[in-house]
Structure 1
């Protein structure tokens, strides 16, 4: 679908789904503003987009800082004059049993996945209102199920879902849509980032490779859902199945989760 007049901002766009969505939007002729903390990785994304004839620009943004988010949005507006799509994608995953987790672990998880996401919305919305644009929040099927060993992550994604549904009510009549996206297992670097936010490129992903979608395939369906202004979009096949069990057969879902979870 041609999106040549759209300006799209994606947080956490240096890798994974953020990078994938940036490439997908650029392939549809949108102008893409990519942001993250790692400018070197963002510049690689921009170079890849420009090599294919697309338009993109990199912006430093640390979603743990309100000022950083506000400054990023201001620079995007200065450069492009408007904002049509904002995707709150930046996130991380804190791992560990509840008895082992520290106060700092919990604070970091919610600072990035919840507060950072909410503030991304806050600073993007005045500009999206002007264009009757699209807002997207990236959650996870973990929002619907127990998450032994990664409970901060699941709790944060449950909060994302609630924020999204609240925004849908607050934005009614404004022309701005809010799409909550809950992916199942998709190729990403989330399991290679430790609880302090440090990246370990050699760390093995413990998730079953056979169940994971490619980033490209996931990005294509996510962009389509945002364009169609869907309220809630759940994907992969196993992701839909997990949510179905959680809603209608919770005991069975818990039993399956217990067997899959590491001891």
Structure 2
């Protein structure tokens, strides 16, 4: 019934977008899921889709910028299933302002959600991943690989996550645990809408980005394909895999 039959998979940020698509793909491959998100209604809807695909699903509703939720998420998963095979660190937040307009609270929240949460979820999951010879995939961004105005602080969080991927992979290889990242370009998800950008302006942004990404805007399903590939590739660890739709090497100087 699939490569991940009976594997225990945690997916954070699973209530929409990349996280929801990834959870559903694992469900179709026979995994047992713990899905995590902040929005109860959307998370329940995502879990329902996974159950309809045949998966056993546990829902964890909570904000991973709140430190106490990190160990709790791991403990609840182990209490439910007894093990962990895969951790997908997908949840994140963004605040796209130039540095001279950046507020400290928004800056701190980005680092708590985008860096601290993946680091400590990985720490708390590691004893279980050692037993299962499991893996971690961090969802980073192409923004970590280039400099752009209005996204300096966000890009810093993703650059930090990339370095964590490389460094932690070197610590985990001896245990048979693999750690990788996917670095997507712009994906058509609710992430941008959550930033409070008006719909008309958002569509203008998307049109401009389509020109910057010659292969077009990514879908969540296309990013999920890469995540499942990294979970399947038994000799791949420590890489940051750009899924850039041509963005990086098509930029005009």
Tell me if 1:108 matches 2:116.
no
Deviations 1:4-54 (A, max 9, x none): 120100111111100010000001111111001112211101111212322
Note if contact 1:39-1:58 (Cα within 8 Å) is conserved in structure 2: no
**Preserved contact between residue 92 and residue 114 of structure 2 (Cα < 8 Å):** yes
Q: With the length of structure 2 as denominator, give the TM-score of the two structures.
A: 0.88
Q: Matches of 2:105 and 2:68 in 1, distance apart?
A: 21
Q: How far apart, CA to CA, are the structure 1 residues paired with 2:188 and 2:76?
A: 31
Contact 1:61 1:69 in 2 (8 A): no
- Is residue 252 of structure 2 the alignment partner of residue 237 of structure 1? no
What's the counterpart of residue 160 of structure 1?
161
Alignment of 1:11-26 (within 5 A): 11-26=12-27
1:105-125 residue CA offsets vs partner (Å, 9 max, x unmatched): 211111111111211111111
Q: Deviations over 1:103-155 (max 9, x none)?
A: 11211111111111211111111111111101111111111100201111111
SS in structure 2 of the partner of residue 137 of structure 1: strand
Q: Distance in 2 between matches of 1:123 and 1:200?
A: 36
Query: Corresponding residue for 1:225?
Result: 230
Q: Whole-Å Cα distance in 1 between the matches of residues 142 and 64 of structure 2?
A: 22
1:25-64 equivalences in 2 (<5 Å) = 25-64=26-65
Which structure 2 segments of 5+ residues have no match?
211-215
1: CA distance, partners of 2:116 / 2:180: 18
Per-residue deviation, 1:91: 0.5
In the aligned structure 1, how far is the partner of 2:198 from the partner of 2:23?
21
Describe how 1:1-263 pairs up with structure 2 within 5 A. Answer: 1-194=2-195, 202=199, 204=202, 206-208=205-207, 210=210, 211-229=216-234, 230-231=236-237, 232=239, 233-239=241-247, 242=248, 244=249, 253=251, 255-256=252-253
For 1:67 and 1:14, locate their aligned partners in 2 and report how far apart those are by CA, in whole Å: 20
Please give the TM-score of this superposition, normalised by the length of structure 1.
Answer: 0.85
- The answer for unaligned runs of 5 or more in structure 1 is 246-252, 257-263
Distance 1:172 1:218, change over 3 A: closer
CA distance in 1, matches of 2:63, 2:197: 19
Runs of 4+ in 1 over 4 A off after TM superposition: 199-203
Q: Label 1:109 to 1:215 Cα distance change in 2 as closer, same or farther (>3 A).
A: same
Give a deviation string over 1:212-259, Cα, whole Å, max 9, x none: 1221222122211222143322213314xx1x57xxxxxxx5x54xxx
CA distance in 2, matches of 1:193, 1:78: 33
Tell me the distance in 1 between the aligned counterparts of 2:62 and 2:170: 28
Contact persistence 2:187–2:218 (CA under 8 A): yes
1:158-191: CA deviations, max 9, x gaps? 0001111110111121010001111122221221
